[in-house]
Amino acid sequence: MNPRPLASVSVDLDNLWAYLKTHGDPGWRDHPSFLPSAVPRLLEILGEQGLTTTVFAVGADVVREDGAKAVAEIAAAGHEVANHSFGHEPWLHRYSRDRLETELSRTEDAITAAGAPRPSGFRGPGYSVTRDLIELLAERGYAYDASTLPTWIGPLARAYHNRTVKTPEAGAGELFGGVSRVLAPVHAYRWRTAEGSALVELPVTTMPLLRTPIHGSYLLQLHEVSPRLARGYFRAALRLCLARGVAPSLLLHPTDVLGAADAPGMEFFPGLAAAGARKVAWLGWVLSALREHFDVVGTGEFVRRTAVRRTRPVTRLDSGR
């Protein structure tokens, strides 16, 4: 009997202050947090689904009491804790190599101090990734990166973001992946560096052929328009993944389980007006639908269990192809 195909689920533990910072709201400096509300809800729904996943944690949260507590609870529940940068600035492509290394090392130290194993996976905020970053991850012994979102909607989302930010400096040139990621692979592959890196790139899955997003926040926006449309869209995505041999990597965020009262100041964020309980119910349906067709694991476990043969030269990150 053939085993069921694999899929992965991950959560970017972006906090309230990080959204305000990217939006250009100076209130972010007070570091308001919704982790005490979001983490128990996420752990509860993952537990109900019997899923062990990966949570990408932000170092600036993990050095604080609520963030360290969240990481400890996540690790105790059996989930992988991965690196989501220290300052959650979605413009890592502007960083020097030394600054990138500091972002990685500070978050690694915070995660281990909170009681989780040293991270072996990374995702850049805003899907920001550079050649220097990939090479540093390989040098530091990471098994995988998960920073690409191969969709044509990314540049459109960036344009919308840059029109609505409160301060010009909050606009990020490659936020949501940039034009160069539109035709990037949807399958997992290995970055090929001059040093012979074995680092795996695990893209956030988009709809095969159409390359439209299927992550949690996008599905939620469709659900607010029409629950029937959202269910049909996600079912179609899963059928296409099966037909095309694409292993779905589904991305979730705390906002997928939070309502407006849980995130003051985030009225600009699409879909936040929906009630938290309604979101939780919808997310439960999404995860159940995924589990009907796939053996669902975290991103790190997926990389460990998958023979990734495709390769891509890291110089592609310089050329924009």
Distance CA 44, CA 165 (A): 33
Task: Report the greatest alpha carbon distance in the chain.
Answer: 57
pLDDT at 128: 86
Residue 217 in any domain: the answer is no
Distance CA 84, CA 104 (A): 8
Residue 263 in any domain: the answer is no
pLDDT at 160: 47
Residue 286 in any domain: the answer is no
Give pLDDT < 50 ranges for the chain: 159-161, 168-173, 319-321
Residue 66 in any domain: the answer is yes
User: In which domain, by residue range, is 38 found?
Assistant: 6-205+247-254+295-319
What CATH number does residue 26 fall under?
3.20.20.370
pLDDT at 167: 52
| pTM score | 0.92
Distance CA 34, CA 107 (A): 20
Cβ atoms of 55 and 39 within 8 Å: the answer is no
Residue 287 in any domain: the answer is no
Residue 30 in any domain: the answer is yes
Residue 283 in any domain: the answer is no
pLDDT at 161: 47
List, for residues 256-300, the tens digit of each pLDDT value.
999 999 999 998 888 888 899 999 999 999 999 999 999 999 999
Residue 155 in any domain: the answer is yes
Number of structural domains the chain divides into: 1
